[in-house]
Amino acid sequence: MIALKKAVDAFDEVRYSEILTHDIFDSDEVLMLAYCAVVCFNSQQAFDILMKRNNHFKLKPEWHAVFAAPKVFMTLQINSPERRKLDLLTIKTAFERDLNFMVDLVLE
């Protein structure tokens, strides 16, 4: 998650893309990466890759409800109920994982 923090702090899309080349099996980390794809980097391609790799979080029903909608990337970019749910999921997970930079990002 240190690499993600550096990428977000510098808004470095290259560094962010490098993170995506690694196999990431932790769904919490994938959630953080997906949030950054939507909010920081406006990268639908990265978002789609993360969703396909994780099967739209089918193992986590609450998360899956947010990510399973059609054209979800566009919906998450605007102030919508789905975006507020994503913010809440992200902030909750960031608190649990003690990822203060993500908490700050969501609260901005």
CA distances from 41 to 17, 34, 77, 80, 106 (A): 10, 10, 11, 19, 14
Pair of tokens at residue 97: 């994982």
Q: Contact, 58 vs 106, CB < 8 A?
A: no
- How many whole angstroms from its chain centre is CA 24? 13
* pTM of the complete model beyond 0.75: yes
Average pLDDT taken over every residue of the chain: 92
Distance CA 50, CA 63 (A): 13
Give residue 80's pLDDT: 92
Report pLDDT digits (tens) over 40-92: 999 999 999 999 988 989 999 999 999 988 899 999 999 999 999 999 999 99
Q: What is the pLDDT of residue 92?
A: 95
pLDDT at 23 over 90: no
CA dihedral 27, 61, 91, 1 (to 10 degrees): 0
CA dist 105 and 26 (Å) reads: 20
Task: Confirm if 40 and 6 have CB atoms less than 8 A apart.
Answer: no
pLDDT above 90: residue 16: yes
